[in-house]
Amino acid sequence: MENAELQALMESVSVEYFGKSFSHQARFNARLRTTGGRYLLRSHDIEMNPKYLSTFGKAEFIQIMKHELCHYHLHLENRGYKHRDADFRNLLREVGAPRFCKPIEMEKNLHGYACKKCGTSFMRQRKMNVSRYRCGRCGGKLVYSGQKKGMQASFNEK
């Protein structure tokens, strides 16, 4: 799906579920990592995460579009558009949009470390300088044991 197709789909979903036109821009943003979509307050544009379309399919993607369109229409009407607002929650219920999108599994690279003295091993997301740190259990020196690829981590949207 290209940005032009996304724009057409966003306009049709807006008319079908809200009875109102979507007159701003919808586009894909591949830099989004942990969120399905985002409504931009200043420009009134909506950015969508293409990974959610490829991972969960068009039906779930439309659910995320409905969620973002709730923010869009309420903000343009000067009503409560934030997640905590009653107007927002009521509109979500009316159109059948989810409050949160499904979590997407992402691969994380983890770094392994072991203590020379007691043998305790642990993993970290960030690589650290072993000469500056000691084992928390016994105070022994640490050794870098390598990088593990493909660890699964789950992130949720809003």
| Residue 120 buriedness (CB in 10 A; 0-12 / 13-18 / 19+) | middle
pLDDT digits (tens, 9 = 90+) for 72-125: 999 999 999 999 999 999 999 999 999 988 888 777 789 999 999 999 999 998
Q: Is the pTM of this model over 0.75?
A: no
**Is 75 annotated among the ligand-binding residues?**
no
Domain ranges of the chain: 3-95, 104-155
Residue 113 — left, alpha, or beta (φ > 0 → left; ψ -120 to 50 → alpha)?
Answer: beta
DSSP 103: P
pLDDT digits (tens, 9 = 90+) for 22-38: 999 999 999 998 899 99
**Is 71 annotated among the ligand-binding residues?**
yes
Its CATH architecture, for the domain 3-95, is 2-Layer Sandwich (3.30)
**12, 13, 8, 2: which is closest to 25 by C-alpha?**
8
Question: So what's the pLDDT on residue 108?
Answer: 79
Question: So what's the pLDDT on residue 32?
Answer: 92
Q: Which residues are catalytic?
A: 68
DSSP 59: H
DSSP 26: E
- What distance in Å separates the CA atoms of residue 131 and residue 13, rounded to the nearest whole number? 57
Question: So what's the pLDDT on residue 151?
Answer: 52
| Cβ within 8 Å of residue 31, ≥6 positions away | none
Question: So what's the pLDDT on residue 155?
Answer: 42
